[in-house]
Amino acid sequence: KTVLKEKTSIDDGIGLPDWRLALCLLGSWICVCGVLSRGVKSTGKASYFLAIFPYIVLIALLIRAVTLDGAINGIIFFINPNWEKLLDPKVWYAAVTQCFFSLSVCFGAIISYSSHNDFRHNIY
């Protein structure tokens, strides 16, 4: 409840935004405005940092996750497949649904699929 800021009921309202998140968002917008206001050359310089920094964060998160209690059990559970689930049609339905959500309309793949679909087919 502390991390998610969950309320016990809706009667209390949704609450105020977390000031730490708002401060981080403000900082990121200040960085973006600062880079864009200085022109193209500073954008190239900033791209060196912006290309490397996410990898540093991911490596730090990986090290943190591996050092937690029960991390080995989670990794083994992730690696060992449950072969019985491959026969479950709900799993395949969820997988296809996730594929279409990850394709999204912006890429145009679903629009391309629908253009080849006959109007009388019951496929949406």
Residue 91 and residue 86: Cα distance in Å, rounded? 7
102 has binding-site annotation:
yes
**Beta carbons of 117 and 123 less than 8 angstroms apart:** yes
CB 7 within 8 A of CB 14: yes
CB 20 within 8 Å of CB 26? no
Q: Which amino acid is at 46?
A: A
Give me 62's structure tokens: 């990986």
Annotated binding site: 102
The annotated binding site for Na(+) is made up of 102
